[in-house]
Amino acid sequence: MVNITHKTNTLRKAMAQAIVRVSSPDTIEAIEQKKVPKGDVFEMAKTAGLFAAKRTSDMIPDCHPLPIEYTGITYEIEELTVKIKVEIHTIYKTGVEVEAMHAASVVAITMYDMLKPIDKGISIENIKLLEKKGGKTDYRKVVEENKISASIIVCSDSISAGEKEDRAGMAIIDKLKTYQVEIEDYVIIPDETDEIQKLVKQKCNDKVSLVILTGGTGLSPRDVTPEAVRPLLERPVPGIEEAIRAYGQDRTPYSMLSRSVSGLIGNTLVLALPGSTKGAEESIDAVFPAIMHIFRVIAAFKHD
């Protein structure tokens, strides 16, 4: 199965449909009046759909086992067709569209099985996803509606001196590109408060959407990035820092020692992230793509 350990739990919803077409009005009447020999078609099919939703991962090899926290199954009769709709909710790392389609298909097949003794002309049609919410899909419009640019600043004495190779900054760039963020520039500087502050101010004056610093958030004497950045912030956003540390703490007990910083300077979002490659990658995973909502809010404020 695809690795989803880097993802975060969010509310995810999906709605799917399937259509059962019968060949006679008598079949519809038998369904409505509960005169089908095998029993109450709607109730039996609904029960089968509930089982199917919960056991999708047993049937579809690449589907992850996940908690099904709501399943709604409804029917709508239109002439010789029964339209089945299945809605599923979960709070998890991946979506439930396959679960919804699987449940809809099993509801339809169960109806077919129950009706075939009285109608030989039944067909199942148009199994499809109607809607999904949650995950990346909720944030694609932000990128479509707003150009989001980023400057990456690597704060490290050893890397700026050429003694080590930067990997954290490059990892951040790779992550941002998957969200269609345009990389304005990439700079390596030493752990010097004045130099950090000068560069952050410059990028904010250039109206870059996002300034991400990596390095200098630990507890060594030369880790000064938080002290340099925090006084510049006009509107701290502590929830971002909390999300980063909470996400990291699930993966390493040392995440609580990181001193990540976040906030707005004008309309620029500034993030100070750990300097380790893993710490930088996980910090991005912790807050993207949800953090993109900030740019929608900023754009709305500009418009007003």
Q: In the chain, what is the straight-line distance between the N-terminal and C-terminal CA atoms, in Å?
A: 46
**Which candidate in 40, 113, 157, 285 is catalytic?**
113
Angle at Cα 150 formed by Cα 146 and Cα 152, nearest 5°?
170
DSSP state of 192: -
Do 274 and 168 meet the contact criterion of CB atoms below 8 Å apart?
yes
CA distances from 115 to 21, 40, 105, 138 (A): 11, 10, 15, 40
Q: CA–CA separation, 120 vs 212, rounded Å? A: 65
Q: Is 183 left (phi over 0), alpha (psi -120 to 50) or beta?
A: beta
- Does 113 participate in catalysis according to the annotation? yes
Facing residues of 133 across strands?
13
> DSSP states of 79-90 as a string?
TTEEEEEEEEEE
Sheet bearing 70-78, strands edge to edge: 70-78, 81-92, 10-21, 123-133
Q: CA–CA separation, 202 vs 204, rounded Å? A: 5
Q: CA–CA separation, 165 vs 173, rounded Å? A: 15
Look up tokens 């509801």; give the residue: 107
Catalytic residues: 113
